[in-house]
A and B are shown apart, each in its own frame.
Chain A
Amino acid sequence: MEIKKISPLIWEIPRQGNMHVPGTIYASEKLLGAMRRDNTLQQVANVAQLKGILKHSIAMPDAHNGYGFSIGGVAAFDIEEGIISPGGVGYDINCSVRLLRTNLSVDQIMSRRTQLIDSLFKNIPSGVGSDGKIKVSREMLMDVLEKGAQWAVEQGYGKKEDWERTEEYGMMKADPRAVSPRALQRGAPQLGSLGAGNHFLEIQKIDTVFDPITAKAFGIDQKDQVTIMIHCGSRGLGHQVASDYIKEMEAKYGHEGLPDRELINAPIQSELGQKYYGAMSAAANFAFANKQMITHWVRESINRIFGDTEVEVVYDVCHNIAKMEEHTLNGERRKVCVHRKGATRSFGPGRSELPDVYRSIGQPVILPGSMGTSSYVLLGTKTSEEISFGSTAHGAGRVMSRSEALSKYRGEDIRKEMHDDGIEVKAASWKGIAEESKYSYKDIDEVTRVSNELGIGKLVVRVKPVGVLKG
């Protein structure tokens, strides 16, 4: 595939064949090399063929092969003429990450770290097929799907300041009735659980402060300050919603003419397109509620062990979602539907979507690394709005398949290595540790460097894990 170099960090797939727009890859030479080795570039070109796509089909620095849309892909469609595609959102709708800050310093917690991790492991359900610990009626679930994190706070899980610092204030305008009974059945037992796979809860310490002024505004400017990251999604409910609508869209619109069956879509303005968006938003709310409940249990565990502690939400960002937003194209303000699959919103100052507390500086962007490596907090920018529909990467993309990781690494060895690095891991399985180790992931330092240099997300702090909880 022909790739044109525009600048050291910007590459173009020129418009060709059935592409309506060119493809843009934001990556270093090294990261582009990884993309050449799988199907990423072809997928970026495929997305450019979809109806109503605007300006360009984008790959983020951490992009890798997905199905239909690559993971780390961004595409915006005209709201009147364009399409909405479940594959451009992902199966794990609103897979997302919340960052909490505390007023603890890491040396205050080390002597009781094991106790804390054990308490979190007990307090927060996790693991494959894991059930939440509350009984959820159908009625309750419909409330959750309508009100998301705000429902959870109403029930006593945390406080309103938590959702005030969450994307969409933890509640998207949703259509819970567009969620199938099957999806409800999968979701009900799982409300309030972490899940498994690449989902985790991490106890971290601030390692480097790149931008002290912004870090202070975010409340995370003290070296060795303890932070906590919660990374999970909408569990079986979201997966079922994605699956249901892929099926429905295929039945109604077919997949003829599509370069890939998984690019199944519906016009945004069609009944089915609107229904999907409503169901997607409901699933997103499930994930928001989930993290809100987990936040409450994190506070419980921390307060139980360390006494009365400040545990506050910094921000909570989506990385598998479609959003209706206004963006400027050719000097004109336009309504578009932005698909971010494995990509994070990265708005700069002035956007109405941002909470009051961040509106004048821009939003925090949270990039979780892989287990055992650094994670980053970035600042959203006006530049991202200009060149990537207000988006940046979502974290470290994978480079190694799980089967390869399992054949190369043993969980016990990885655990020991992490322990030698000062990180304590508690996981439901050794193999899970082997599959999720840093060797399986792209270099997040490189991904964030590129984001920073391009100006789509500026470095604020780097955090390092001291404790990891995995399902």
Chain B
Amino acid sequence: MPYSFLPHTADAKFQADGTTLEEAFSSAAEAMFSVMADPAKVKPVYEEKISVEGADKKALLYAFLEELLFLLDTKKFLLNRIISISIAIKEDKLILDATAAGDIDLEQYEIHGEVKAVTYNEMEITEEEGKVTVQVVVDL
């Protein structure tokens, strides 16, 4: 599993990794949704395109995860996985384009928690040779 949860009293704190920044971001998305419903159990019957930008990598990660929460609230979108994702520099900011697969029929899944928001609390992005790890705390 490319993510794991760390002790945190009130909220959910996780670390997610990948071989690239994009992969780590994808793992982070799955980690966030796992608080609510097991992504592996969600059927990939529906796709959403995501396009966000940020001044730096942390802001980009924040914007990406928040967009997914926005899709949950407005389209009832539950994540199975990120099918494709690319991060690039455009002028003086970072842009991210991705396609997320999941389901919008919430009734059939056991949803057991609610992620209210992404936070910058203890957010970390660590890039090493062949491994990128992100750490995020989400507000429950």
B5 contact set on A, CB distance < 8 A: 401, 403
Q: A216-247 CB contact bits vs B (8 Å, 1 = yes)?
A: 00000000000000000001100110110011
Interface presence of B82 (CB below 8 A):
no
Is the pair B9, A67 in contact by a Cβ cutoff of 8 Å?
no
Q: Which of A3-11, A347-355, A359-367, A426-434 contacts B (4 or more CB under 8 A)?
A: A426-434
For the complex of A and B, list the 6 residue pairs with the smallest distance between their C-beta atoms, beginning with the closest. Answer: A67-B121, A431-B112, A197-B114, A429-B112, A196-B114, A236-B73
- Bound together, the chains give a CA A431 to CA B38 distance in angstroms of 12
- Bound together, the chains give a CA A471 to CA B116 distance in angstroms of 14
Contact partner of A239 (CB less than 8 A), chosen from B7, B8, B116, is B116
Q: Which of A116-124, A184-192, A331-339, A443-451 contacts B (4 or more CB under 8 A)?
A: A184-192
Interface presence of B87 (CB below 8 A):
no
Is the pair B118, A128 in contact by a Cβ cutoff of 8 Å?
no
Q: A178-219 CB contact bits vs B (8 Å, 1 = yes)?
A: 000010011001100001111100000000000000000000
Question: Nearest Cβ distance between residue A202 and chain B, in whole angstroms?
Answer: 18
B113 contact set on A, CB distance < 8 A: 128, 196-197, 402, 431-432, 435
Could you tell me how many residues of chain A have their Cβ less than 8 Å away from some Cβ of chain B? 49
Looking across the interface, which residue of chain A has its beta carbon closest to that of B58? A261
Question: Nearest Cβ distance between residue A99 and chain B, in whole angstroms?
Answer: 23
- Bound together, the chains give a CA A429 to CA B9 distance in angstroms of 21
Is the pair A195, B114 in contact by a Cβ cutoff of 8 Å?
yes
Is the pair A431, B140 in contact by a Cβ cutoff of 8 Å?
no
Q: A384-422 CB contact bits vs B (8 Å, 1 = yes)?
A: 000000000000011111111000000000000000000
The verdict on A64 contacting B10 (CB below 8 Å), with A128-B114, A402-B140, A435-B113 known, is yes
> Would you mind naming 27 contact pairs between A and B with Cβ atoms under 8 Å apart?
A67-B119, A67-B139, A128-B106, A128-B111, A129-B76, A129-B111, A186-B70, A186-B73, A189-B73, A190-B73, A197-B114, A199-B114, A236-B69, A236-B73, A239-B69, A242-B117, A261-B123, A401-B5, A401-B8, A401-B12, A403-B7, A428-B111, A428-B112, A429-B112, A430-B112, A435-B112, A435-B113
Interface presence of B55 (CB below 8 A):
yes
Q: B7-29 CB contact bits vs A (8 Å, 1 = yes)?
A: 11111110000000000000000
The verdict on A65 contacting B116 (CB below 8 Å), with A128-B36, A262-B121, A431-B110 known, is no
Interface size class of B (residues with CB under 8 A): 35 or more
Contact partner of A91 (CB less than 8 A), chosen from B9, B70, B119, is B119
Question: Nearest Cβ distance between residue B140 and chain A, in whole angstroms?
Answer: 5
Interface residues of B (CB under 8 A from A): 5, 7-13, 35-36, 55, 59, 66, 69-70, 72-74, 76, 106, 110-114, 116-123, 137, 139-140
Interface residues of A (CB under 8 A from B): 38, 64-68, 71, 91-92, 127-129, 182, 185-186, 189-190, 195-199, 235-236, 239-240, 242-243, 246-247, 251, 260-262, 397-404, 428-432, 435, 471
Q: Among A66, A198, A402, which residue has the most Cβ atoms of chain B within 10 A? A: A402
Question: Nearest Cβ distance between residue B61 and chain A, in whole angstroms?
Answer: 13
- Bound together, the chains give a CA A243 to CA B11 distance in angstroms of 16
Question: Nearest Cβ distance between residue A406 and chain B, in whole angstroms?
Answer: 8
Looking across the interface, which residue of chain A has its beta carbon closest to that of B67? A182
A186 contact set on B, CB distance < 8 A: 70, 73-74
- Bound together, the chains give a CA A185 to CA B70 distance in angstroms of 9
- Bound together, the chains give a CA A428 to CA B112 distance in angstroms of 7
Question: Nearest Cβ distance between residue B21 and chain A, in whole angstroms?
Answer: 20
Question: Nearest Cβ distance between residue B102 and chain A, in whole angstroms?
Answer: 12
Looking across the interface, which residue of chain B has its beta carbon closest to that of A342? B10
B76 contact set on A, CB distance < 8 A: 129
Contact partner of B9 (CB less than 8 A), chosen from A182, A185, A247, A400, is A400
- Bound together, the chains give a CA A400 to CA B112 distance in angstroms of 17
Looking across the interface, which residue of chain B has its beta carbon closest to that of A188? B74
Question: Nearest Cβ distance between residue B73 and chain A, in whole angstroms?
Answer: 4
Question: Nearest Cβ distance between residue B75 and chain A, in whole angstroms?
Answer: 9
Looking across the interface, which residue of chain B has its beta carbon closest to that of A404? B7
A196 contact set on B, CB distance < 8 A: 111, 113-114
A400 contact set on B, CB distance < 8 A: 9
Q: Among A66, A67, A404, which residue has the most Cβ atoms of chain B within 10 A? A: A67
Contact partner of A432 (CB less than 8 A), chosen from B11, B73, B112, B123, is B112
Is the pair B117, A429 in contact by a Cβ cutoff of 8 Å?
no
Is the pair B117, A243 in contact by a Cβ cutoff of 8 Å?
yes
Looking across the interface, which residue of chain A has its beta carbon closest to that of B11? A67
- Bound together, the chains give a CA A262 to CA B119 distance in angstroms of 8
Is the pair B120, A91 in contact by a Cβ cutoff of 8 Å?
no
Is the pair A251, B55 in contact by a Cβ cutoff of 8 Å?
yes
Is the pair B8, A182 in contact by a Cβ cutoff of 8 Å?
no
